[in-house]
Amino acid sequence: MNLHTDDLIEDALRTYPLADVPPNFSKNVMRRVNATANPAPRFRLTWMDYALGFFLTLLPAVGFVIWASLPRLAVLHLEFQWQVLQASGFLPVLAFSLAVAGVLLFSGLLFSMNLFLRPKFLA
């Protein structure tokens, strides 16, 4: 449509005589809008809610059973690995690795927040 046609339509809409609104029109309309637009939210638990709760509740018990059923040689090996981690020569390497991992995690968090909080424009 060209500019002249748009102006004619706009002029017709502004000068057309308006009819009177029936009484109680807005009350009936708002009653229908409220009935359809705001249904009461329903709270439901799905099978995934129950499964996750059950799984997370059993994790400490499973960890205890695994720890109790380890052979003595495996326990000694784990204790040796723990002592290696506590050695004074290994602590700077461990601290540097944890610092780099923290910086990378923080930068990933900032990037994801920037990505998801960016305003979305309609095409």
Q: Tens digits of per-residue pLDDT, 64-81?
A: 999 899 999 999 999 998
Question: Given CA atoms 9, 12, 14, 19 in this order, what sign does their dihedral have?
Answer: negative
User: What DSSP character marks residue 5?
Assistant: H
Phi, psi torsion values for 45, nearest 5 degrees: -105, 125
Phi, psi torsion values for 94, nearest 5 degrees: -65, -45
pLDDT in tens, 34-73: 666 666 667 788 899 999 999 999 999 999 999 899 999 9
Report residue 111's pLDDT band, with 50, 70 and 90 as the boundaries.
very high
Q: Measured between alpha carbons, how far apart are the two ends of the chain, in Å?
A: 21
Report residue 83's pLDDT band, with 50, 70 and 90 as the boundaries.
confident
Alpha helices in the chain (DSSP H): 3-15, 25-37, 47-69, 72-85, 91-117
Tokens of 96: 């540097």
